[in-house]
């Protein structure tokens, strides 16, 4: 049509660094604060009932010395620590709020822990089974890997997750997660096609350190979609109902309609803390009825599993959660962390946006993990 201007969607097209605009350093803070309506496509669910949170009496005593450093850090977005229905600590940056949705990135992976635990309880999946037992079309990168190896981030294949490398597979994966469009108007790859194309599997003996690959979560998502008795969207709703969110849970969807559990979730700090309470309650829902597989949660804390790399090597990667046997949580790209104490029942959600080129900083994330552990231990 004459005079009509049509341009590619600026939020979804990629630049020279192979990142969509909302994940480029200059735009990342806006992107993480608004990812729930910047993704290509999303699923949004609301909880049937809301766990109402009440402020604690007084200020949390004896706060960790390094907490103020994190709250003053330019990356900081929000923090919320909850015990039972009481808010023990809450703060937000001037440009954000503890009730606003925020990208939680790989903290989303904890959904797979809950879903796989339920599938195990129902006898629909076996940790010892090979991926090809459930996905006959899977490529050589995963065909001979076991479900347990996926759960523990112990698969050795060619998938690369190097945030400092713009050509790393993890950025191509974002197309399959519904985060952005491919360059040059190419066809969007589905999560099925993306994971089927991964090659280079090498059998490995038990290893000291986890080999973190978000594609492992994508494969577990596909397995869950095949064997579960409910659609994955219904399982997401069930989790939301058990947690009692005040706001919405948003998660991006792949072109073939699969939730991006490897990193596509968005929650407010308050609601992420509510999600953590689901673990702190040993898998019981708002009404203290069994929901998650409590035995699977307990076993995940006690079993031997690969360690994370320093400075988070006090944590092990076990069944798609991070734990030292008492504290449970998960980190996320860009500066996200959920940490909860199974002993005290305290759940702390921390949201931030690192604006360096890689979007990640091991020393910063180590400080976040240590600070949240100390807060939960109060």
Give a yes or no: residue 6 inside a domain.
Answer: no
54-55 vs 336-341, strand pairing mode: unpaired
Residue 290, helix vs strand vs coil: strand
Checking if the pLDDT of 134 tops 80, the result is yes
pLDDT of residue 378: 77
Higher pLDDT, 15 or 158: 158
Give a yes or no: residue 200 inside a domain.
Answer: yes
Q: Which two tokens stand for residue 299?
A: 């076993």
Give a yes or no: residue 3 inside a domain.
Answer: no
Give a yes or no: residue 370 inside a domain.
Answer: yes
Cα–Cα distance list, 147 to 186, 204, 222, 311, 351 (Å): 32, 14, 12, 27, 30
Tell me how many domains the chain contains. 1
pLDDT tens digits along 186-217: 889 999 999 999 999 998 778 899 999 999 99
Q: What is the mean pLDDT of residues 145-152?
A: 97
pLDDT of residue 369: 96
pLDDT of residue 1: 61
CATH of residue 70: 3.40.710.10
The CB density around residue 280, as the number of other CB atoms within 10 Å, is: 22
Cα–Cα distance list, 350 to 91, 103, 105, 173, 198 (Å): 10, 11, 12, 25, 33
Give a yes or no: residue 102 inside a domain.
Answer: yes
Read off the pLDDT band of 92 (50, 70, 90).
Answer: very high
pLDDT tens digits along 96-118: 999 999 999 999 999 999 999 99
The least confident of 11-15, 229-233, 365-369 is 11-15
Higher pLDDT, 269 or 2: 269
Read off the pLDDT band of 299 (50, 70, 90).
Answer: very high
Q: Name beta bridge partners: 341.
A: 327
- Going by C-alpha positions, the residue among 135, 128, 114, 98 that lies closest to residue 272 is 98
Give a yes or no: residue 306 inside a domain.
Answer: yes
The boundaries of the domain holding residue 181 are: 21-376
pLDDT tens digits along 228-253: 999 999 999 999 999 999 999 999 99
The least confident of 7-16, 70-79, 283-292, 324-333 is 7-16
Higher pLDDT, 15 or 122: 122
Cα–Cα distance list, 61 to 57, 64, 161, 189 (Å): 11, 9, 39, 51
Give a yes or no: residue 11 inside a domain.
Answer: no
Read off the pLDDT band of 50 (50, 70, 90).
Answer: very high
pLDDT tens digits along 155-186: 999 999 998 888 899 988 999 999 998 887 78
């Amino acid at each position: 049509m004459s005079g009509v201007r049509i341009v590619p969607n600026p939020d979804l097209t990629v630049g020279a660094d192979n990142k969509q605009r909302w994940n480029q350093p200059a735009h990342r803070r806006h992107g993480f604060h608004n990812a729930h309506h910047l993704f290509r496509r999303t699923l949004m669910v609301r909880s049937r009932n809301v766990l109402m949170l009440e402020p604690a009496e007084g200020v949390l005593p004896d706060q960790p010395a390094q907490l103020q450093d994190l709250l003053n850090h330019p990356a900081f977005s929000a923090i919320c620590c909850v015990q039972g229905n009481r808010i023990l600590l809450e703060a937000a940056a001037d440009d954000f709020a503890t009730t606003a949705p925020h990208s939680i990135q790989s903290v989303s992976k904890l959904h797979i822990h809950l879903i796989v635990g339920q599938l195990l309880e129902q006898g629909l999946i076996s940790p010892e089974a090979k991926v090809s037992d459930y996905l006959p079309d899977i490529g050589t990168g995963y065909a001979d890997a076991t479900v347990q190896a996926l759960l523990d981030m112990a698969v050795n294949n060619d998938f690369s997750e190097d945030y400092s490398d713009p050509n790393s597979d993890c950025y191509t994966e974002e197309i399959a997660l519904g985060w952005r469009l491919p360059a040059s108007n190419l066809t969007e790859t589905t999560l099925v096609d993306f994971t089927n194309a991964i090659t280079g599997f090498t059998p490995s003996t038990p290893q000291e350190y986890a080999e973190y690959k978000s594609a492992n979560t994508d494969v577990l998502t596909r397995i869950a979609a095949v064997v579960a008795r409910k659609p994955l969207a219904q399982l997401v709703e069930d989790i939301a109902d058990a947690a009692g969110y005040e706001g919405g849970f948003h998660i991006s969807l792949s072109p073939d309609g699969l939730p991006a559990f490897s990193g596509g979730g968005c929650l407010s700090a308050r609601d992420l803390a509510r999600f953590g309470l689901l673990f702190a309650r040993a898998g019981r829902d708002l009404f203290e009825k069994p929901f998650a597989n409590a035995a699977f949660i307990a076993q995940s804390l006690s079993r031997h599993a690969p360690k994370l790399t320093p400075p988070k090597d006090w944590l092990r990667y076990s069944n798609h959660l991070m734990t030292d046997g008492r504290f449970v949580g998960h980190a996320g790209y860009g500066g996200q962390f959920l940490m909860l104490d199974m002993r005290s029942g305290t759940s702390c959600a921390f949201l931030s946006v690192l604006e360096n080129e890689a979007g990640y900083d091991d020393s910063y994330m180590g400080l976040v993990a240590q600070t949240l552990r100390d807060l939960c231990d109060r």
